[in-house]
Amino acid sequence: MRFGDRGYPNCVNASVAKQLIESHLVSGEMKPGEEIAIRVDQTLTQDATGTLVMQELEALDLDRAKTEVSVQYVDHNLLQADEKNAEDHAFLRSACRRYGLWFSKAGNGVSHPTHMKHFGKPGKTLIGSDSHTCAGGSLGMLAIGVGGLEVASGIAGEPLYLRMPEIWGMRLEGELPPWVSAKDVILEMLRRHGVKGGLQRIIEYHGPGLAHLTAMDRHVIANMGAELGATTSVFPADDAVRVFLREQDREDDFTELVAEDADYDISDEIDLASLEPLIAKPSSPGNVVPVREVAGTPVSQVVIGSSANPGLRDFAMAAAMVSGRQSSDAVSFDVNPSSREIFADLTKMGATLDLISAGARLHQTGCMGCIGMGQAPASGTNSLRTFPRNFPGRSGTKEDSVWLCSPETAASAALTGEITDPRDLADKLELEYPSLDLPERATINLDMLVAPLEPDEAQREELVKGPNISALPDFPPLPDRIEAPVLLKLGDDISTDEISPAGARALPFRSNIPKLSDFTFTQVRENYPQQAAEIKDTTGHIVVAGDNYGQGSSREHAAITPRYLGLHAVVAKSFARIHWQNLANFGVLALEFDEPGDYDRIDEGDTLVLDRLRDLLPGDRHAQIHNATKDETYELHHRLSERQVEAVLAGGRIPLLARRPDADQEKVDV
Ligand code: MIC
Domains in the chain: boundaries = 10-274, 278-429, 482-658
**What pLDDT score was predicted for residue 6?**
55
pTM over 0.85: yes
The CA distance from 512 to 394, in Å, is 20
Residues in the chain: 670
Q: H or E segment at 55?
A: helix 47-59
Specify the CATH number of the domain 10-274: 3.30.499.10
Q: 624 CA distance to ligand 1 centroid (A)?
A: 34
| Closest CA to ligand 1's atom 7 | 553
CA-371 nearest atom, ligand 1: 5
Among candidate residues 109, 525, 519, the one with its CA nearest the CA of residue 310: 109
| Closest CA to ligand 1's atom 4 | 553
Contacts 24+ apart (CB under 8 A), 627-631: 627/601, 627/602, 628/483, 629/603, 629/605, 630/601, 630/602, 630/606
Among candidate residues 538, 547, 606, the one with its CA nearest the CA of residue 580: 547
What is the homologous superfamily of the domain 278-429 according to CATH? Aconitase, domain 3 (3.30.499.10)
The CA distance from 623 to 367, in Å, is 42
CA-394 nearest atom, ligand 1: 3
The CA distance from 506 to 148, in Å, is 18
Residues 6+ apart with CB under 8 A from 84: 466, 468, 508, 509
Q: What is the pLDDT of residues 266-291, one digit of tens each?
A: 999 999 999 999 999 999 999 999 99
**What pLDDT score was predicted for residue 11?**
56
Residues 6+ apart with CB under 8 A from 194: 228, 286
Topology of domain 482-658, per CATH? Aconitase; domain 4 (3.20.19)
Test site for ligand 1: of 45, 49, 127, most ligand atoms within 8 A of the Cβ: 49
**What pLDDT score was predicted for residue 619?**
65
Instruction: Output the ligand 1 site: residues, CB below 6 A.
Output: 48-49, 76, 130-132, 145, 371, 389, 552-555
Query: Strands 589-593 and 288-290, how do they pair?
Result: unpaired
Ranges assigned E (strand) in 391-540: 401-404, 449-450, 482-489
The CA distance from 418 to 383, in Å, is 10
**What pLDDT score was predicted for residue 2?**
54
Tell me, yes or no, if the two domains 10-274 and 278-429 fold the same way: yes
Test site for ligand 1: of 307, 554, 577, most ligand atoms within 8 A of the Cβ: 554
Q: DSSP H helical segments within 460-546, as ranges?
A: 496-499, 513-516, 528-535
Query: Strands 25-27 and 35-38, how do they pair?
Result: antiparallel
Residue 28 φ/ψ region, left for φ over 0, alpha for ψ in the -120 to 50 degree band, beta for the rest: left
The CA distance from 337 to 563, in Å, is 37
CB 157 within 8 A of CB 61: no
* Partners of 589 in the β-ladder: 569
Cis peptide before 500 (omega within 30 of 0): no
CB 408 within 8 A of CB 539: no
Does residue 635 sit in helix, strand or coil? strand
**What pLDDT score was predicted for residue 642?**
87
Q: 369 CA distance to ligand 1 centroid (A)?
A: 12
All residue ranges of the chain with pLDDT < 50 are 1, 661-670
Test site for ligand 1: of 130, 284, 368, 402, most ligand atoms within 8 A of the Cβ: 130
The CA distance from 145 to 136, in Å, is 10
**What pLDDT score was predicted for residue 560?**
98
DSSP 651: T
Query: Strands 160-163 and 35-38, how do they pair?
Result: antiparallel
The CA distance from 21 to 39, in Å, is 9
**What pLDDT score was predicted for residue 616?**
67
**What pLDDT score was predicted for residue 549?**
98
CA-388 nearest atom, ligand 1: 2
Residues 6+ apart with CB under 8 A from 124: 41, 42, 68, 141, 142
